[in-house]
Amino acid sequence: MSLILFAFVVRVRDGLPLSASTDFEHNRELQERKQQLRTVSKSLVSLPDRGTVKGQQLHIYFSSSEGVSYMSVCHYSLPVAKAFCFLEDLRWEFTARFDSSVVALAARPYPFLEFDSTIQKLKQQYNQSGGPTLEVTLVEVQEDLRIRPPQLINLDEVELTNGVANGHVEQSPAPGQNLRLEPVTPQGILSLVLNIVCASLNVIRGVHLIENTLQDDYEGVWNVVAFLLAFVCCALQCHLYLFHSSQKKLKSFFLLSVILLCNLYLLGLRNTWQLIFHASVASLSTFLTLARKVQHRAEDCGV
């Protein structure tokens, strides 16, 4: 029976996967532990250098040093000292081959695939012999663990910190957070152009009416307000379509309502076809704004 089932090397600052052992086992608990590894790796910055996450049959152990964390999924029967001895050996092998500057500059997941074979050999050595070949190393690790025991990690707290429920639910976007929307569609471009046309018509009529209002002793000032307010709402509709905003649905319907009310108020200054045109453009913009969703980010390359 394998005592060390999976090993994982990640960068601490952002949880970027650097290398991992090849997985030949697919039992359900192992897959759950690997998902938990992914969750823990995203919070390593706020976690202690050593930690343990206990499961039913499988436990997670991790040890971080010099910006890199070495993680493993082990059977509960494997002594804790041997599990951390494995991680220490893994650290020595990794630091001997890769400089810290190379790790810091890594930009894509799993940049050190050649190290996978080293992990496999080390894992096989532990699984066949039951531990390290040098007893003095094991004694040193046992003494170190006695002085600085690994912290037992509450996975619920880690998941809450990440904004993740059981490692599956995506983090809810916070107000004001810069999120990418789905690409602009041809219909969206048409809506923007029509909205710009409506906004231009409103501001031109509004500015023209200001001159007449000044000459007529401020009679019809509310017509000017209606035109300029409709202009502002058209501009805001364009912004709402192009950029992510919190409470988008509420804002969209509010802008639509204001534009419709403004055009109803201007019933005497616009004919029926003009009113239908402005109302249709505003309705189309509202529909496309609500239909344009936040773009789903590519799943993080986890384990």
Residues 156-177: pLDDT tens digits?
777 655 654 444 444 444 444 4
Q: Count CA atoms within 13 Å of residue 15 on its CB side.
A: 17
Is the predicted pLDDT of residue 154 greater than 90, yes or no? no
**Per-residue pLDDT averaged across 109-116, rounded?**
90
Q: Considering the domain 4-162, what is its CATH architecture? A: 2-Layer Sandwich (3.30)
* Domain assignments of the chain as residue spans, ordered by start: 4-162, 186-291
Instruction: Supply the pTM of this predicted model.
Output: 0.53
Query: For residue 174, what pLDDT is reported?
Result: 45
Phi then psi dihedrals of residue 246, to 5 deg:
-70, 150
Cα(158)–Cα(160) distance, rounded to whole angstroms? 5
Q: Please state, for a pLDDT cut of 70, what percent of the chain lies above it.
A: 83
Return the SS3 of 26.
coil
Cβ–Cβ under 8 Å, residues 94 and 68: yes
How many angstroms from the chain centroid is the CA of residue 53?
24
State the pLDDT confidence band at 71, using cuts at 50, 70 and 90.
Answer: very high
| Long-range contacts at 120-126 (CB < 8 A, ≥ 24 apart) | 120/21, 120/22, 122/7, 122/86, 122/89, 122/90, 122/93, 123/4, 123/7, 123/21, 123/86, 126/3, 126/4, 126/82, 126/86
Return the SS3 of 23.
coil
